[in-house]
Structure 1
């Protein structure tokens, strides 16, 4: 555990109170994201949003989250993780509540950016606080419970979001953030007494942060628009060049935003981050493919498809604490490798879905993927967070979140390119089922192959960790 700074006369923070506050926030963020996803068509209709603007509602949130994760992780190491966590809960809750009264698309998009910034503060500091208060022998279980909270939010969001949108209107979804956000903020304010800032006194890298922000913005917006505007490829190329420039700048700075030496001198950290990026790049597109497949090919109603799609995150929620406990008993790299293998097998199995496939085939894919992700996420995070010094915990936490969002962007870009190649810009409908299935099959085979490449990286990580 890292050394915590305690206010004189104040009792030390209990690990369970830290875990409770972090789990509440980790439930709230994906819950709101998935609930809003269900209501997007209605929101677009009421606000008069175009198709491009509707897509931006999701894109700007992911972009904001990606931009600020590393920055907030570094600020937490310098200024205090508890402080950043408190601010993050407050910013996220206020921005989410303000969306209730948004009357125009531009205001809605601005609030989504602020919401993403608040989420990045929570993500970058929350897991770092958990690692700071739990000893190594029980760290995996704690991180597994945190992962279960994430998947619980993902599972509940679509169901409750759909019910509330139908019964009361989409604006009431955002009011649901108030009670849980207020409770989390109160616990963080009154029960978290310690402060963790192992890099206090070090300067913040403003230049590196600016270059990184521009690079990520170009990547996110380019990936979102690449199907509609071929000039978006220039944005993607600019983003890749920006990342290269960022790494070059960071390698020469005494107090960088990202300690590049960690990527070269700490193989466990570097391979764990790469494994996370690969896993999310391979699996993030599955929800979209399965939703379209069930409704367009199998002819299920949206609510019926929703109940089928809940199977995967429910299994992830149940298995994540178990995966964390396994990571405490065995090498977390081994457990994560098993999870990666199960995810790859699920993707390959899904590539055989066709017009005559049974729903049992779909259910088996969903369950196998849920098992794989449940066994991968928390052990992989345990491996990454345990491989760094206390002064880098905020950075490591931000890095895991960054790898997740970058993987999602890679997956989104791959799906967009595939739809363009196989479907020629036509929408997914009953008339375009054959090219849609060819597109889905090609992507899933590539994603499955990517997962098995990740298995080799994880196996290499096992050998490195065993030395």
Structure 2
């Protein structure tokens, strides 16, 4: 059902969706700042500590496609509302967690709720607002996302430093109550678009465990069972793709990758996300453990990158409407590679200006990459695949985030061996940091070379 509401009610819908859009990146960004405080309280090592944000992203990556599809069939507001409720309860559970294990479980449940919110938010806006105002409503939505990314490090740092890390999770609850109140009091209808279509249960039952098994195996790659899990995960993903080809209403339509442009664009996306997502978890740990900076100062430093992306993305997106976006994406990947390369040279006493320069380069690179690359990807697929293509792009982003944190966990496991970050281990931590940045730089350079192929393929023609 696609039904345009009157102007007053549509504003309530917009308020609900943008509050949800704020929660997701805020929680992820705030977690990065609070990790050392959590580690100090529970006396858990870096490997277990890294599983807190990993569990959050894992749930998002694993469930966003199924919940997006369920929203199309059974009602997007139902799924969105359920996501807010789960997120609120999981936040309370996290705030009251007596152990690191329970906090990881709570973080996973938060990610589950977030996947329901993220999977349906844009679809609700598309259902409610007229086509001629979609750009404006999506612009406000994106602004809310970056507001969350900006507020996460700063507000999260302030809350952690002033009231303790548990206050970050408690902060979410009033926002969730506000969202639910607006839904109950102001939104009396639901929106869906696939009444008579079947849900791909078989594909879902293979897709969700395949990602979970693959990540678990990747984080234990030095053990025989980790290598076994990686093999099983790959086999499950291959089986999933085969099933999707034969399914009439699949979760992901593999046919969109038959063209070279969306294939190169999606591959470059996952390389870019993989090479950058865990950087801020690593930098947060470095600044607080090694540089002994307060959570608030660290939060301010971590906000530089999303601030730059928020400022420049609208301009680069508009610019990609007028020129070949592949050139902008290429420049963005080059800047990202330069920023990651700087990270290889971080030492125990590296000046903060070097960290700021790294953040600026990654911010500018991301701004030049994201909007033009989305235009390239969505502009190169058939209109009948727009819905599944959008879901695929979101899944690629979450999968890249998972792989990025997986690499970080892998490096910590291999070099620190699960040791806590104490002064005697600072040198080993720096080695882990350098190894991680080396891998991220290599992945980014590969992405740069791949997008160069797209530039050569397209030539001077605009996509």
TM-score by shorter chain over 0.5: yes
Q: Bigger shift: 18-27 or 202-211?
A: 18-27
Cα distance, 1:207 vs. partner? 0.9
Partner residue in 2 for 1:90: 85
Matched, 1:246 2:244: no
Q: Which runs of 5+ in 1 are unaligned?
A: none
C-alpha spacing 1:74/1:347, structure 2 compared with 1 (3 Å) = same
Cα distance, 1:449 vs. partner? 0.9
C-alpha spacing 1:334/1:379, structure 2 compared with 1 (3 Å) = same
- Contact 1:81-1:197 at 8 Å conserved across structures: yes
Match of 1:152 among 147, 156, 164: 147
Match of 1:4 among 2, 13, 17: 2
Partner residue in 2 for 1:452: 448
Partner residue in 1 for 2:171: 176
Q: Number of residue pairs matched?
A: 460
* Cα distance in 2 between the residues matched to 1:378 and 1:192: 31
Partner residue in 2 for 1:287: 280
Tell me the TM-score normalized by structure 2.
0.83
Q: Bigger shift: 442-451 or 202-211?
A: 442-451
- Contact 1:159-1:306 at 8 Å conserved across structures: yes
Tell me the C-alpha RMSD between the 2 structures.
Answer: 3.7
Partner residue in 2 for 1:79: 74
Matched, 1:341 2:339: no
User: What do the CA deviations read for 1:86-128 (whole angstroms, capped 9, x no partner)?
Assistant: 3323332333234333445555444333321211112122233
- Contact 1:128-1:394 at 8 Å conserved across structures: no
Partner residue in 2 for 1:408: 401
Structural mapping, 1:291-306, within 5 Å: 291-294=284-287, 303-306=296-299
Cα distance, 1:374 vs. partner? 2.3
Partner residue in 1 for 2:106: 111
- Contact 1:80-1:197 at 8 Å conserved across structures: yes
- Contact 1:74-1:394 at 8 Å conserved across structures: no
C-alpha spacing 1:12/1:247, structure 2 compared with 1 (3 Å) = farther
Cα distance, 1:225 vs. partner? 3.7
- Contact 1:84-1:122 at 8 Å conserved across structures: yes
Match of 2:252 among 258, 261, 280: 258
Q: Which runs of 5+ in 2 are unaligned?
A: none
SS at match of 2:252: coil
Matched, 1:439 2:432: no
* Cα distance in 2 between the residues matched to 1:122 and 1:250: 24
Cα distance, 1:377 vs. partner? 2.6
Q: Bigger shift: 91-100 or 11-20?
A: 11-20
Structural mapping, 1:167-246, within 5 Å: 167-188=162-183, 196-226=191-221, 229-246=223-240
Cα distance, 1:73 vs. partner? 1.9
SS at match of 2:194: coil
Partner residue in 2 for 1:317: 310
SS at match of 1:176: helix
- Contact 1:223-1:413 at 8 Å conserved across structures: yes
User: What do the CA deviations read for 1:350-374 (whole angstroms, capped 9, x no partner)?
Assistant: 4455567543333222112111212
Q: Bigger shift: 175-184 or 337-346?
A: 337-346
Cα distance, 1:216 vs. partner? 0.8
Cα distance, 1:458 vs. partner? 4.8
C-alpha spacing 1:423/1:92, structure 2 compared with 1 (3 Å) = closer
User: What do the CA deviations read for 1:260-315 (whole angstroms, capped 9, x no partner)?
Assistant: 12222x55544433232121012123224434554566665655444333221221
